[in-house]
Amino acid sequence: MFSFLLSLLLGAVHFLLGIGTTQNFPPPLSKEEENAAFAAARKGNMEAREKLILHNLRLVSHIVRKYYGTAKNQEDLMSIGTIGLVKAVDTFNPENGARFATYAAKCIQNEILMHFRARKKLSAEVSINETIDVDRDGNPLTYMDVIATEDNIEEELDVQAKSETVRRLLDNVLDERARQIILLRYGLSGEAPRTQREVANMLGISRSYVSRIEKSALDTLREYC
């Protein structure tokens, strides 16, 4: 029901915005009318709630025109701002002493700012269907084409994910000696893997001691993997 009412409101917003200025929106309510509407809305009166929204649409229009007047998608911003207005109507408490217009303006601005943040985040993502080059025949070459040529990419990603898990566990569940032995034995520090004897010589301990620590460390890691 709410989504249906909201769609009707947004349709009215688009119609009013297409007409022109804020003079085309319903006039603001008086303080007495606003208080009465909020009192009724808190009791579940949907007509009072809708009245509060409609008579504050000019506030949405004012914010969009004042702060985003050069934006090409003003109708979209008007719709997004109206969602912020609806949230303001539903959460405003007149007993706090604040003016509704001040509170609603912040909600409208926050909704629009969240929209821009989300759009900025999405713009940083790269589509696998995006053209990155052309082949010898002039056909577009996408990230998907590049990935498709790597037959073992899934295995490589799996190995990489498991390796990162192991490195995190090394830091969190093993003591310094056990961590050092595992790093040396399996080349996890970027160097070639070393034998137990080589590790023993490097650390000045016996090979059997290295073997015991390695076995215990591996058992511990398996418990967490």
Residue 70's pLDDT is: 66
Residue 38's pLDDT is: 94
Q: Give span(s): CATH 1.20.120.1810, the chain.
A: 2-123
Residue 218's pLDDT is: 86
pLDDT in tens, the chain (225 residues): 444 444 445 544 444 444 345 457 888 888 899 999 999 999 999 999 999 999 999 999 888 888 776 666 778 889 999 999 999 999 998 887 778 988 898 899 888 888 877 766 655 555 555 554 455 566 665 545 544 443 443 344 445 556 666 777 777 888 899 989 988 988 877 778 899 999 999 999 999 999 999 999 888 877 765
Question: How much is the CA Rg of the chain, to the nearest whole Å?
Answer: 31
Measured in residues, the chain has a length of 225
Residue 49's pLDDT is: 93
Neighbouring residues of 48: CB distance < 8 A, sequence distance ≥ 6: 36, 37, 38, 39, 40, 41
Q: Which fold has domain 2-123?
A: Four Helix Bundle (Hemerythrin (Met), subunit A) (1.20.120)
153-224 maps to which CATH number? 1.10.10.10
**Token pair belonging to 153:** 């990419």
Residue 195's pLDDT is: 92
Residue 56's pLDDT is: 92
Residue 148's pLDDT is: 44
Contact 52, 34 (CB under 8 A): yes
Q: Give span(s): CATH 1.10.10.10, the chain.
A: 153-224
One-character DSSP codes across 96-135: G---HHHHHHHHHHHHHHHHHHHHHHHHTS--TTSEEEE-
Residue 115's pLDDT is: 81
